[in-house]
Structure 1
Amino acid sequence: MLNRTAMMAYLSGLVFTTAVFVVSLWYRPPDVPTLSLCTLKVTTGIDCPTCGLTRAFCALAKGEWQRALHFHPMSPVIFALFGWWWLRSLLHLVGKRSWVNRVEAWFPPFLTILVVVTGILLSWALKLWLW
Structure 2
Amino acid sequence: MKRVPWVALGIMLAALATWASSYLQPISALLPGCAFKRLTGFACATCGLTRCILALGRWEWAEAFHWHPVAAAAGLLLPVAVAWDLRRAWRGHPYLDLPDSWAVRMSVWALLLGTWILQVWRGI
Unaligned runs of 5+ in 1: 102-107
The yes-or-no answer on 1:22 pairing with 2:22 is no
2:67 is aligned with what amino acid? Answer: F
State the TM-score, normalizing by the size of structure 1: 0.60
Cα shift at 1:67: 1.2
Deviation of residue 21 (structure 1)? Answer: 0.3
- What is the TM-score normalised by the length of structure 2? 0.63
CA deviation digits over 1:33-65, x for unaligned, max 9? Answer: 442375534544533212222331332343312
Tell me the equivalent position of 2:53: 57
Q: Which aligned pairs between 1:1-131 and structure 2 lie closer than 5 A?
A: 7-8=3-4, 10-11=5-6, 13-28=7-22, 29=25, 33-36=29-32, 38-41=34-37, 43-95=39-91, 115=107, 118-131=110-123
2:37–2:44 Cα contact (<8 Å) kept: yes
**Number of residues paired by the alignment?**
115
When the two chains are superposed, the root-mean-square deviation of aligned CA atoms in Å is 3.6
* Contact 2:49–2:71 (CA under 8 A) maintained in structure 1: yes
Structure 2 residue runs of 5 or longer lacking an equivalent are none
CA 1:51 to 1:127, structure 2 compared with 1: closer, same or farther past 3 Å? closer
Matched residues in 2 for 1:49 and 1:36: separation? 17
More relative contact order, 1 or 2 (CA 8 Å, 6+ apart): 2
Task: Give the % identical residues.
Answer: 26
